[in-house]
Amino acid sequence: MSDLILHHYPMSPYSEKVRAMLGYTGLSWQSVVTKEMPPRPMVAALAGGYRRIPVAQSGADVFCDSRIIAAEIAERAHKPELGAEAMDEAQRAWVAHAEGEVFFACILAAKPGELFRKARATASIGDLLRVVKDRLVMGLSAASSIPGPLRSQQIVRDHVGRVAGALERDFLFGAAPTFADFATYHSLWFACDLGGKRFPEQPRAMAWLDRIKAFGHGVRREISADAALEIARSATPRPVPQEHSQHPSLKKPVRVAPADYMQVPTTGELVGSSASRWIVRREDPRAGVVHVHFPKEGYTLQEA
């Protein structure tokens, strides 16, 4: 069993992105199912103020954002094409569109009745109402504009057509999936698999969606949040590479937060900085000393 632990919940699109990558690579992993919205005290013990899901963990190293988690999976599976850093310019532009306006459009385009029916399997009505309220507040506070429901329907239809047009082979950029495939899959999975949307006029796109879903989720074993915290508390963060030791804020207290939405910061001491990630040291009585990894793209860092 791999030491990779994923803190996630069933209906989380970005969690599905990571679960599908784990299925494709065949990696084993440990699962901690968490709540659909904060407070999540066990996750907060590891990642501080960070509100997004999923969060991954390997011992006392904590990985925030699916890009950083994908980099871990790519390295463990020896498949560098699954890392965001391996993308070329065309793939970066594609992913920026798929994970920007299209992502929110897919969430809003899903059929509410279908979502409610599937959500009832894992959450109470009270929890669902709290999630809806939380997401409305999130949308109002987002740095980027979010399309309305009618506009969202058109954005998703156009996007599915664009996916179909890109499929000259089995996957978007060739014979094997890359980071771009999984970054495109997760929002359409939410709209189609959870939200009941189908696009029979685009059979190639629907076949591609089913192809990725067929990867499954790999070899998964459930563990408790307490067990995950004990693993962190008993471990020591892995050494920070020498090449990560150049930054004017190194060894200073900093605040790292998403730049677009859910902009609640994680505070700690900056101990590592590479071209693509920051590493923040923080200490919690429940988790001990941990190193929290964030991508630079889409995040801000300020001295605290």
Cα-Cα end-to-end distance for the chain: 39
Token reading at 135: 């997401």
pLDDT tens column, 215-263: 999 999 999 999 999 999 999 999 999 888 888 889 999 999 999 877 8
* Angular region, 65: left φ>0, alpha ψ -120 to 50, beta rest: left
Note the pLDDT of residue 141.
58
Closest by alpha carbon to 72, among 21, 34, 7, 24? 21
Note the pLDDT of residue 139.
54
Note the pLDDT of residue 245.
80
- For all residues of the chain together, what is the average pLDDT? 92
What are the backbone angles phi and psi of residue 205, rounded to the nearest 5°? -65, -40
Checking DSSP bridges between strand 277-284 and strand 266-273, what pairing results, if any? antiparallel
Q: How far apart are CA 215 and CA 25, in angstroms?
A: 9
Beta-carbon contacts of 302 under 8 Å, excluding residues fewer than 6 positions away, are 254, 255, 265
**What is the 3-class SS of the chain, one letter each residue?**
CCCEEEEECCCCHHHHHHHHHHHHHCCEEEEEECCCCCCCHHHHHHHCCCCCCCEEEECCEEEECHHHHHHHHHHHHCCHHHCHHHCCHHHHHHHHHHCCHHHHHHHHHCCHHHHHHHHCCCCCHHHHHHHHHHHHHHHHHCCCCCCCHHHHHHHHHHHHHHHHHHCCCCECCECCCCHHHHHHHHHHHHHHHHCCCCCCCCHHHHHHHHHHHCCCCCEEEECCHHHHHHHHHHCCCCCCCHHHECCCCCCCEEEEEECCCCCCCEEEEEEEECCCEEEEEEEECCCEEEEEEEECCCEEEEEC
Note the pLDDT of residue 125.
60
Q: How far apart are CA 33 and CA 31, in angstroms?
A: 6
pLDDT tens column, 281-301: 999 999 999 999 999 999 999
Beta-carbon contacts of 202 under 8 Å, excluding residues fewer than 6 positions away, are 160, 161, 163, 164
List the chain pLDDT tens, one digit each, 304 residues: 579 999 999 989 999 999 999 999 999 999 999 998 889 999 999 999 999 999 999 999 999 999 999 999 999 999 999 999 999 999 999 999 999 999 989 988 888 888 778 777 776 666 555 555 554 555 555 656 678 888 999 999 999 999 999 999 999 999 999 999 999 999 999 999 988 999 999 999 999 999 999 999 999 999 999 999 999 999 999 999 988 888 888 999 999 999 987 788 999 999 999 999 999 999 999 999 999 999 999 999 999 8
What residue ranges define each of the domains in the chain, with the CATH number in brackets? 4-80+220-303 (3.40.30.110), 88-213 (1.20.1050.10)
Token reading at 190: 């939410």
Neighbours of 283 (CB within 10 A): 10
How far lies 275's CA from each of 3, 90, 246, 272, in Å?
A: 26, 20, 10, 10
7 and 32 Cβ atoms separated by less than 8 Å: yes
Note the pLDDT of residue 133.
53
